[in-house]
Amino acid sequence: MLVAFGTDIWTIDGPQVESMGFRYPTRMALVRLRNGSLWAWSPVALTEELRRAVDGLGPVAHVIAPNSLHHLALPEWQAAYPEATLHAAPGLRRKRADIAFEADLGPEPHPEWAGQIDQVIVRGNVLTEEVVFFHRASGTLIFTDLVQNFPPDHFTGPRRLIARLDRMLEPEATVPRKFGVAFTNKRQARQDIGRIAAWPVRQVLMAHGDPVIKDAAHFVSRAFGWLRY
């Protein structure tokens, strides 16, 4: 259920979700802040077992929707933890007007996690403007959809060919082709990715794919090298 991923950070793999005929595994992360409260990133479906495990770590103070594509489980987390602040990524308030968000994710960290978790909005992408995070204590870089990786046998039939063409089945996690071509302002994207590449990364976590541990410090330059051209 909860898998320790470093100092004060845990991952939880949730059920698969379907989008346009493709089934995607889901993953969330929990970070325990210095005050003992929890920061819940990209929450997955909240089962009773998961709720007990979460409650055993501490009170949930912040629920994070890191881009406009990850929002399905937000209502159940908001219902279970009404005292927590629900933070919306750019564009998500318009998409989910049925959800009462209390805060918006911006270019600077919220005061309650400033100095512990850094963040950058990767702008200029027409699919979604994702907020990428860096947990200082564990050296963890956290992506949602901008980088992905799936086992070669995850998809079958025509979807496997589509996934291969979309660069979702590469040997190492990278930017899917659909997200790469969706950058309409590469100059802005280079600036944002440059800030991310400057963080002292020791490991990389993503919602869809195995974590990157080996040579993680240079992962961003490998995954986003095409942006230089």
CA–CA gap between residue 156 and residue 99 (Å, rounded): 35
Looking at per-residue pLDDT, the higher value among 169 and 193 belongs to 193
Q: Is the pLDDT of residue 156 over 90?
A: no
Q: What is the pLDDT of residues 121-152, one digit of tens each?
A: 999 898 899 999 999 999 999 999 999 887 66
Q: How far separated are the first and last CA of the chain, in Å rounded?
A: 42
Q: Is the pLDDT of residue 48 over 90?
A: yes
* Predicted TM-score of the model (pTM): 0.92
Taking all residues of the chain, what is their mean pLDDT, rounded to a whole number?
A: 90
Question: What domains, with CATH codes, occur in the chain?
Answer: 3-228 (3.60.15.10)
Give the C-alpha distances (Å, rounded to integers) separating 135 from 26, 95, 118, 122, 200. 20, 28, 7, 17, 10
Which band of pLDDT confidence, cut at 50, 70 and 90, is reported for residue 161?
A: low
CA–CA gap between residue 18 and residue 151 (Å, rounded): 17
Q: What is the pLDDT of residues 181-215, one digit of tens each?
A: 889 998 999 999 999 999 999 999 999 888 999 89
